[in-house]
Structure 1
Amino acid sequence: MLTIRDAARVFGLSERAVRLRLDALRPQVDAYLRRGPNGQVIITDAARAMLDRLEALRKTDGLSVNAAAAKVKEELSNGHHDVGQGASTGEVAVLRELVQELRAEVGRLEEENRWLRERLEELQRLALPAPRRRWFWSWLRGK
């Protein structure tokens, strides 16, 4: 469970941006928000999964916050009228899709890492050796 300040650090956003994203996900996210000491908003794991999915859609598809929130709401509803059952099924679907996206990203990064290492080896082979210091220059300068 996270506070809004913690969520802002996790997502690399401002507290205001986290609040705007939570507002965009209302009313679905309301069931997963709690109040802590001094009225702090506590974000449960289910609400964090919704925020994760929203950010993934926003970054990968280039959607606005409101468009990504509408897509997340659509995924969560997914034709279920029972809120409790639909939310848990929606959470599982969101998490599965998030895992698939992360695996694809890891694969892409591994491929990029492999290419960069090959390029580095190629450039190291092409690199010229350090120039040799000519002993007679220092001898001539001394005179």
Structure 2
Amino acid sequence: KLCEEVILNKSDDGNHVERFLDFAEKVKNPPVAPTPVAAPALTIKKSSPAEQQESLRALKCEVTCEAPHVEPEPGAVAPDVCRVEGAIDKNKLAAKIIAQETPTPTEVLQYFNSELKQRICFLDGGMGTRIQAEKLEEADYRGERFKD
């Protein structure tokens, strides 16, 4: 309506030019929008160890297990891997690996345990460090077969 009044140069009160100039001024220099009041800064209060402990204990979640316990089948115990014995065909095992098949854990244990009866196995890493702590000498590694 303001544009129409200015173009036609006619308004009911005759103040259309002033209103248009006020409008142009507001467009040119818009009034500053009030900035929203910033929320107060978050303050983190230092807490004592006792307060921390109390807070952590308050977070405790009680869980109840209502499912029935599953009893293992009699005799369903994992075998002692050091006691897994049995004949293993090395060629068959090698062919299986070459064919990119995975040997069963029993086959691996049978092979490894049969090799341990013929050769010495040196362990590196954490177990090697543990063995070093025993301060074993060469004679301890030789065993009965390679005694002096």
TM-score of the pair, normalised by structure 2: 0.21
Structure (1/2) with the larger strand percentage: 1
- Max radius of gyration: which structure? 2
Q: Which has the higher contact order (CA 8 A, sep 6+)?
A: 1
Structure (1/2) with the larger helix percentage: 1
